[in-house]
């Protein structure tokens, strides 16, 4: 049977026009280090901000429908679905299109970020199949354990990811790098995979790319940076910059690499672990960019200024989202765009 790539399907860049944004309501109360109520409020703020630019569907368990709708407001459509938590980027479908009006949803396998303790994932593992059937979108299953936050694409054949995550024995111990590359290319239409080695310290996701890098457009990449040699993340982030500067994308272009400073270190008061602060964990909407605001006036203002320069045609909307960090993610992690099916 022909692969999705052979059929002409590919995953477009996140700037491709969206039909809507999918989200899921935070539901694992024990996973937020005492910040559960605040995390729900943050998710609601994100949903409402995105809804100013494009339709938003928020999935929620039946018992949470009323609270989710109340906090999100009338601009967000809340739908009932069995879920474990709110990280829809990671356990939801990856949508691919063929530019001729057809769309498919890739259903990767999901194991709760490597079967992390205290993380239920039975319902989240099944939710992609559930919603695709409801929306009458053809579902294409892959046996690869993969979270949506572990890769970025430029829509022109280039895919970014990390070895720390995809080659981790807690995900796909029987898969090698070559076989993983083949699966990614077959399902997402990629031609070139650029591998970073590792992410930041204490990263619950084991090195998701959406904390480390993002595309501005094909050929232009944002990369998390650190200029403090004493910082625990300095070596890894410097290495990532060097990999990007030495790489070429699927079209043979060298990258323009724009360094985005890592915010000042902050820690989970309950566990002592370092929070994964990164302004690269944003959401691109139709005409807007939803940017994390971590409550640090200096670094947040600097990031907002930089993003306004980089994305001049978009409205930059900072949203307070620090509480989400206590469960290991942020704005990009809780959102999943569904592209329109035609060309951009």
In this predicted structure, the answer to whether residue 334 has a pLDDT above a threshold of 70 is yes
Tokens coding 265: 């270190």
pLDDT in tens, 284-303: 999 999 999 999 999 999 99
Exposed, middle or buried: residue 149 (CB in 10 Å: 0-12, 13-18, 19+)? buried
Instruction: Characterize 306-337 residue by residue with b for buried, 16 or more Cβ atoms within 10 angstroms of its Cβ, and e for exposed.
Output: bbeebbeebebbbbbbbbbbbbbbbbbbbbbb
Model confidence band, residue 342 (pLDDT cutoffs 50, 70, 90): confident
pLDDT in tens, 48-86: 999 999 999 999 999 999 999 999 999 999 999 999 999
| Straight-line distance from the first to the last Cα atom of the chain, in angstroms, rounded to the nearest whole number | 28
What does the pLDDT average to over 166-185? Answer: 97
The pLDDT value recorded for residue 1 is 84
The pLDDT value recorded for residue 130 is 95
Whether 59 and 88 have beta carbons less than 8 Å apart is answered as: yes
The pLDDT value recorded for residue 344 is 62
Q: Enumerate the H helices of 101-229 as residue ranges.
A: 112-115, 122-135, 163-166, 177-188
pLDDT in tens, 239-284: 999 999 999 999 999 999 999 999 999 999 999 999 999 999 999 9
Residue-wise DSSP of 69-109: HHHH-TTSEEEE---S-S-HHHHSPEEEE-SSS-EEEEEEE
Q: Compute the mean pLDDT over every residue in the chain, rounded to the nearest whole number.
A: 97
333 is catalytic: yes
Q: Of the listed 21, 165, 226, 333, which one is catalytic?
A: 333
Helix (H, G, I), strand (E, B) or coil at 294: coil
All structural domains of the chain, each given as residue ranges with its CATH number in brackets, are: 18-339 (3.75.10.10)
Exposed, middle or buried: residue 20 (CB in 10 Å: 0-12, 13-18, 19+)? middle
CB atoms within 10 A of CB 232: 13
Alpha carbons within 13 angstroms on the beta-carbon side of residue 289 total: 26
In this predicted structure, the answer to whether residue 210 has a pLDDT above a threshold of 70 is yes
Tokens coding 193: 């995979």
């Amino acid at each position: 049977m022909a692969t999705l790539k052979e059929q002409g399907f590919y995953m477009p860049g996140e700037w491709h026009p969206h039909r809507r944004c999918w989200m899921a309501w935070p539901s694992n109360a024990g996973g937020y280090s005492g910040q559960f109520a605040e995390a729900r409020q943050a998710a609601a703020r994100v949903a409402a901000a995105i809804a100013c630019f494009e339709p938003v569907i928020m999935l929620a368990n039946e018992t949470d429908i009323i609270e989710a709708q109340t906090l999100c407001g009338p601009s967000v459509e809340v739908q009932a679905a069995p879920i474990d938590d709110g990280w829809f980027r990671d356990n939801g479908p990856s949508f691919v299109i063929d530019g001729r009006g057809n769309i498919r949803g890739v259903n990767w396998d999901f194991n709760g970020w490597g079967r992390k303790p205290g993380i239920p994932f039975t319902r989240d593992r099944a939710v992609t199949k559930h919603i695709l059937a409801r929306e009458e979108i053809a579902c294409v299953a892959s046996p690869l354990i993969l979270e949506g936050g572990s890769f970025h694409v430029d829509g022109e054949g280039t895919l970014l990811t990390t070895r720390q995550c995809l080659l981790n024995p807690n995900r796909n111990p029987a898969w090698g790098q070559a076989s993983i590359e083949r699966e990614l290319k077959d399902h997402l239409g990629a031609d070139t995979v650029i591998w970073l080695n590792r992410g930041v310290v204490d990263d619950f996701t084991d090195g998701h790319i959406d904390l480390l890098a993002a595309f501005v457009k094909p050929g232009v990449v944002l990369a998390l940076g650190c200029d403090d040699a004493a910082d625990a993340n300095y070596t890894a982030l410097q290495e990532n910059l060097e990999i990007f500067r030495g790489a070429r994308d699927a079209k043979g272009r060298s990258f323009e690499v724009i360094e985005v400073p890592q915010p000042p270190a902050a820690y989970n008061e309950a566990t002592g672990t370092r929070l994964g602060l990164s302004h690269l964990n944003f959401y691109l909407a139709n005409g807007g960019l939803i940017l994390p605001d971590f409550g640090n006036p200096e670094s947040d203002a600097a990031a907002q200024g930089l993003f306004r320069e980089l994305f001049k045609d978009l409205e930059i909307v900072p949203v307070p989202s620090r509480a989400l960090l206590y469960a290991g993610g942020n704005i990009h992690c809780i959102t999943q765009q569904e592209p329109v099916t035609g060309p951009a």
